Amino acid sequence: MTGMTGEIARFDNVGLRYGPDREVLCDVGFTLHAGHFYFLTGASGAGKSSLLRMLYLAQRPSRGMISLFGTDAITLPRHRLPGFRRRIGVVYQDYRLVPHLSAFDNVALPLRVAGVPERDVVQPVKDMLEWVGLADRMEARPATLSGGEQQRVAIARAVIGRPELLVADEPTGNVDPDMAIKLLRLFEALNRLGTTVVVATHDLHLLQKVPGSLIMRLDRGRMSDPTGALRYPPRRENAQP
Ligand SMILES: Nc1ncnc2c1ncn2[C@@H]1O[C@H](COP(=O)(O)OP(=O)(O)OP(=O)(O)O)[C@@H](O)[C@H]1O
């Protein structure tokens, strides 16, 4: 496991283009330090989802260098990808729940894939679903849940295994403001346990709700870090083991 004071991810001169068009991300460089809480913000189309996809290894950059957990992610052999991905919890913008599984089984999936014995699966999954307000919807299939309910199942699934890195793409886009704050508290609790958190959002109000969080801003594919906080983040007491 990467040390708590270590580097979780680093992008250097990363560029991304889809097909022959101009680059949608250009010269992106930043470092994510273990134990910190980051927001990624920027207008619609600025490239947030594209950047996150590279971070959770679903998309290769067109140029530049990405390292993840201290390893060069660009040259990572294909057979090592699943092992890396298991260390990352992802909340997808479109949720990507498994349609034929219940809410309970969707949330249990990361634990079962990791080989956690069934007796240690049931209670944590129930507790997590209760926390996100879905105690009475555990047996429901995704198609019978509302957008906001599906989003909460997706969040529960992403955090249940206490990943080293949590990447969430607009995780509160479909819930009311009270639930958005509650979900942020869940991310903060996970962060206090040592998970590095990256949340992409349009919602500038959310940024003020997490004291000590660091803000990455994308403007038409370019990243700004005017205070240098991404390269030299302030020390956080709760980032220590
Ligand atoms: N698979 C793709 N193929 C071609 N172009 C793409 C693809 N995915 C994204 N783009 C383009 O890349 C640019 C950045 O899109 P991206 O979804 O990363 O932005 P975003 O900041 O996440 O936007 P939003 O906040 O609306 O989700 C946009 O111009 C988009 O049209």
List pLDDT tens digits, range 41-91.
998 999 999 999 999 999 999 999 999 999 999 999 989 988 889 999 999
Write the residue with the smallest CA distance to atom 3 of ligand 1.
Answer: 18
CB 33 within 8 A of CB 44: no
Closest to 61 (Cα-Cα) out of 51, 46, 76 = 51
Interhelix angle 103-113/122-131, rounded to 10 degrees, is 130
Distances (CA, A) of 83 to 79, 80, 193, 198, 218: 8, 6, 21, 20, 29
The residue with greater pLDDT, 206 or 228, is: 206
Please tell me if the CB atom of residue 221 comes closer than 6 angstroms to any atom of ligand 1: no
Percentages of the chain per state (helix, strand, coil), in multiples of 5: 35, 25, 45
Beta-strand ranges (E) seen in the chain are 7-16, 25-33, 37-41, 63-68, 71-72, 88-91, 165-169, 196-200, 214-219, 222-224
Looking at the CA of residue 202, tell me the nearest atom of ligand 1.
25
Burial class of residue 114, CB neighbours in 10 A (0-12, 13-18, 19+): exposed
Domain ranges across the chain: 7-224
List pLDDT tens digits, range 107-135.
999 999 989 999 999 999 999 999 899 99
Q: HSE-up of 222 (CA within 13 Å, CB side)?
A: 3
Residue 144 per-residue DSSP state: G
| Full-model pTM | 0.91
With 90 as the cut, is the pLDDT of residue 101 above it? Answer: yes
Please tell me if the CB atom of residue 16 comes closer than 6 angstroms to any atom of ligand 1: no
Beta-strand ranges (E) seen in 97-213 are 165-169, 196-200
Looking at the CA of residue 42, tell me the nearest atom of ligand 1.
21
List pLDDT tens digits, range 150-190.
999 999 999 999 999 999 999 998 888 888 898 899 899 99
Please tell me if the CB atom of residue 18 comes closer than 6 angstroms to any atom of ligand 1: yes
Looking at the CA of residue 49, tell me the nearest atom of ligand 1.
22
Region class of 19: left (phi > 0), else alpha (psi between -120 and 50), else beta: left
Please tell me if the CB atom of residue 23 comes closer than 6 angstroms to any atom of ligand 1: no
Mutate to test the pocket of ligand 1, among 18, 25, 223 (most ligand atoms within 8 A of CB): 18
CA atoms 88, 92, 97, 98: torsion sign: negative
Distances (CA, A) of 134 to 81, 123, 144, 235: 32, 14, 13, 36
**Among the four given CATH numbers 3.40.50.720, 1.10.340.30, 3.40.50.300, 3.40.50.1100, the one describing domain 7-224:** 3.40.50.300
Ligand 1 midpoint to CA 129 (Å): 31
